[in-house]
Structure 1
C-alpha cells in the first residue's frame, strides 16, 4: 500500500479510478480503518469518474501511531468541557484535518471533493472551514455538529462502541467487530452474517491497535460545539444521514445542514451508522451528483 509523509507523519492510503480524474478524498471515522469504506462504494465512485483516495487516519490502521501518548479520561474531559475549559489532548480534529490536507499536498492535488463519515465528517468539516481553497465540495455523512443539546446515542450503541473485546485472540476480535456492526448498523438493511464476519476478520488481520480509538475519542470530545465554525463554510455541502442511526441520531445531520449556509440534506429511512451494500448505488449517486454539480 502506498504511504506518504503528510503533516509530518506517515499516512497510508489507496487510490482507485483514473489518476487524471477529478480527485475525491474519503475520510473515515472513529477507530476505523480505510477499509470501512466498502470496496463496492469506492469502485462505484470511481465508476462515476472520480480519482478516489481513501486513507487511514493517524493512530489507526497502517498509518503512524502515537505510542505512549496518553489521553485524559473521558469523564474528566466531559466535565472540563461542560465547565467551559478545553481539555489538553494528544491531538485535535484540526490536526487530523491537517493530515488530510497534507496528504493532498503529498499527492500534488490542489483541490478535491472532501467526503467524511462520522468522525471523518467532523474532520471534513474542519477541512472545509479552514481550507476552503482546497475543497471543491463537502459531503458530511452520518456526522454532527457537537451541539450538546442534540439527542445522545442510544445506550446500547454507545455501550457497544466503547466495549472492550473479551480477549485479543482473533476469533474474539472478530466476534466483537460483528457485534459492533450489528448494533450500530442499518435496521432496514441488515448485513449478511458471512459478509460481516469476513470484513471483521480482514480488518483484524490488517491491523489491531486498541490505543488509537482512545485518542480519537479525546479529540472528538475536546472539539466541542462546531456550529460557529460551520457558519463560515462556503464550500457547496451535502449532508447525508440515516433516519435510523442509533449512534449519531439523525438530528445531528439536520443540525449540520442547518449550520452550514446553503447545505443540502438527504436522509434515508432504515439507514443506520454503516454503509450497507443495498445503499451503495444510492449513496454513490448522491455524492457524485453533488460533486459534479460543483465542477
Structure 2
C-alpha cells in the first residue's frame, strides 16, 4: 500500500488514494479505526462509479501522529482539510462513518467551501444519543470481552476485533471474520492504544450537541444508518437527518455498526446519487 503523509501543524497525517475517476471523494474513518478498515471491495464499488478516493488515518489512529493533548472534532476536521490540500483538491465529496461522520458533519458546517456533498454513515449529531435501553447490556458484553481475550500480539488483536463485531456488528448479515482477522493482523503495528482512543472519544464529547449548527449545512446530504446498530441507534441517524436541511434518511434492516458486504453496492449507489445532486459542473 502506497502511503503518503501531510501535516496539520505538528500533526502528521497518513493518507493514500485509489480509483481513477474524476470526482474527488474523501473517506473518514471512525474511532480507533485505521484507513484499512474501509474494505477494498467497497472502495472498488465507489471507484466504479467514477470517484477518485482519498483515505486517511485520523490523528491518534493508524500511521498518523499520536497527539497526547486534548483536541476537538474541529481539529480533526482540519486534519481532513490538510489531506485535501496535499492532493490539491479545492473540495471533495465526504463519506464519514461513526466518529468520521461527526468529523464530516463539522466540515460541512465550518469548511463549507471544501465540501461538495455529505454522507453521514452510522453516526450522530450528539454523542449522548448512543444511550438507550440496550446500552447497559452492551457495555457489560464489551467488558466481558476484555476479560476473556487477554494478551498482546496480532492474534489477540484479531480475536478482540472479531469479538467486538459479534457485539456491535450486523445481525442480519454474516461477518467476514477471515477479513477481520487479516486486517487486524496487518494493522497491528499501528494499532490505536487505549489512551489515544480515549482522546478521540473526548473530542466528540467536547464538541457537544451539534444539531443547531447542522441546520447551516447547504450541501446535498444523505444519512445512512443500520436498524440493528447498538452503538449509534436509528434515532441518532434520524436526529442527524432532521437537523440537516433537506437531508435524505435511509435505514437498513439487520445492519449494525459495520459495513456488510451485501450492502456495499446499495450504499455506494446512495453516495453516488447524493454526489450527483451537486451537479455536473462541480468537481
User: What's the TM-score, normalizing by structure 2?
Assistant: 0.90
Task: Kindly indicate whether residue 7 of structure 2 is the aligned counterpart of residue 26 of structure 1.
Answer: no
Q: How many residues align?
A: 273
Q: Which residue in the other structure is 2:116 paired with?
A: 136
What is the CA–CA distance in structure 1 between the aligned matches of 2:111 and 2:79, rounded to whole Å? 12
| Aligned-partner Cα distance in 1 for 2:16–2:141 | 29
Contact 1:157–1:246 (CA under 8 A) maintained in structure 2: yes
Give the direction of change, closer, same or farther, for the CA distance of 1:3–1:269 in structure 2 (3 Å limit).
same
Of residues 166, 175, 180, the one that matches 1:182 is 166
Q: Does 1:115 align with 2:95?
A: yes
Tell me the equivalent position of 1:277. 261
Aligned to 2:206: 222
The alpha-carbon deviation at position 100 of structure 1 amounts to: 0.5
1:17 to 16, 19, 26: 19
Query: Which among 252, 256, 261 is matched to residue 268 of structure 1?
Result: 252
Q: Which residue of 1 aligns with 2:76?
A: 96
Q: Which runs of 5+ in 2 are unaligned?
A: none
Give the distance between the partners of 2:13 and 2:188, measured in 1 at CA.
19
1:207 Cα deviation (Å)? Answer: 3.4
Q: TM-score, length-normalised on structure 1?
A: 0.87
The equivalent residue for 1:45 is 46
1:115 to partner: Cα distance: 0.8
In structure 1, C-alpha distance between the alignment counterparts of 2:29 and 2:137, rounded to whole Å? 22
Partner deviation per Cα, 1:120-161 (whole Å, 9 max, x = no partner) = 000000000001111110000010111746743633444566
- Structure 2: distance between partners of 1:66 and 1:149: 27
Q: Structure 1 residues 254 and 172 mapped into 2: Cα distance closer, same or farther (>3 Å)?
A: same
Q: Secondary structure at the match of 1:291?
A: helix
Give 1:169 shift.
Answer: 2.9
Match 2:195 to one of 205, 208, 211: 211
Equivalent residue, structure 1, for 2:182: 198
Aligned to 1:78: none
User: Is contact 1:6-1:106 (8 Å) kept?
Assistant: no
In the other structure, the counterpart of 1:57 is 58
1:137 aligned counterpart, secondary structure:
strand
The 10-residue stretch of structure 1 (264-273 or 153-162) with the greater mean CA deviation from structure 2: 153-162
8 A contact 1:239–1:257 mirrored in 2: yes
Report the aligned-residue RMSD. 1.9
Deviates more, 1:112-121 or 1:211-220: 211-220
